[in-house]
């Protein structure tokens, strides 16, 4: 496999296609990573949440990281890491236009509100919706992609000749 560094433009194009990633935040030296859905406009990730640990931690330390990836198989993948800063979009006059912009971007995905607000289990109580909109201002973006090399390429014949004869034959070395 050959690993290539992605250009800034390739990273931005990739992020424009993605809607899901992992948000990393930290508080008191403890990292915390959670899955998020996002909308990307080229400068910011726009997200929706409800009150919880992730929001509390980002309010305490607005420096965050987002990772998004696409894995076709072990030899063909892309991964982009973004460093940025959390900015809560409060329900106040100064943020109304930005919140509307965020909502318009997010609503392009049918289940934009998940996983932040999950429907209750049958017979369960409905939890009150306390929407929190936020964005992450991108300060740095890097990415890499893996591609098969010539020997690993489809149809090269090299892959078939290097496979073990049985699925467990590789274990014979350690017996």
Can you give the pLDDT of all 175 residues of the chain as single tens digits? 899 999 999 999 999 999 999 999 999 999 999 999 999 999 999 998 888 899 999 999 999 999 999 999 999 999 999 999 999 998 766 667 888 888 888 887 665 545 555 544 555 555 556 788 999 999 999 999 998 887 766 544 434 434 433 343 334 444 4
Which ranges of 18-123 does DSSP label H, i.e. alpha helix? 53-60, 96-106
Question: Rounded to an integer, what distance in angstroms lies between the CA atom of residue 10 and that of residue 144?
Answer: 10
- Phi and psi, residue 65, nearest 5°: -140, 140
Tally of domains within the chain: 1
Q: Output the domain CATH number for residue 167.
A: 2.30.110.10
Q: Give the pLDDT of residue 157.
A: 42
- Exposure letters 42-57 (e unless 16+ CB within 10 A, then b): eebbbbbbbeeebbeb
Q: Give the pLDDT of residue 165.
A: 37
Question: Rounded to an integer, what distance in angstroms lies between the CA atom of residue 91 and that of residue 52?
Answer: 17
User: Which residues fall within 8 angstroms of residue 160, CB to CB, at 6 or more apart?
Assistant: none
The pTM for the full model equals 0.74
- Exposure letters 126-160 (e unless 16+ CB within 10 A, then b): eeeeeebbbbbebeebebebbebeeebeeeeeeee
User: Which residues fall within 8 angstroms of residue 86, CB to CB, at 6 or more apart?
Assistant: 25, 58, 59, 62, 63, 64, 134, 135, 136
Question: Rounded to an integer, what distance in angstroms lies between the CA atom of residue 11 and that of residue 164?
Answer: 37
Domain that holds residue 12: 2-174
β-bridge partners, 27 = 30
């Amino acid at each position: 496999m050959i690993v290539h560094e992605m250009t800034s433009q390739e990273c931005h194009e990739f992020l424009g296609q993605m809607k899901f990633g992992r948000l990393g935040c930290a508080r008191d030296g403890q990292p915390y990573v959670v899955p998020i859905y996002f909308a990307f406009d080229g400068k910011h990730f726009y997200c929706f949440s409800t009150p919880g640990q992730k929001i509390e931690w980002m309010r305490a330390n607005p420096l965050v990281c987002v990772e998004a990836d696409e894995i076709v198989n072990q030899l063909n993948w892309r991964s982009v890491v973004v460093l940025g800063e959390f900015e809560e979009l409060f329900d106040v006059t100064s943020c109304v236009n930005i919140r509307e912009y965020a909502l318009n971007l997010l609503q392009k995905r049918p289940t934009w509100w998940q996983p932040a607000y999950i429907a209750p289990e049958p017979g369960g109580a409905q939890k009150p919706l306390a929407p929190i909109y936020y964005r992450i201002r991108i300060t740095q973006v890097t990415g890499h992609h893996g591609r098969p090399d010539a020997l690993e390429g489809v149809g090269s014949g090299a892959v078939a000749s290097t496979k073990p004869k049985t699925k467990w034959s590789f274990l014979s070395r350690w017996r």
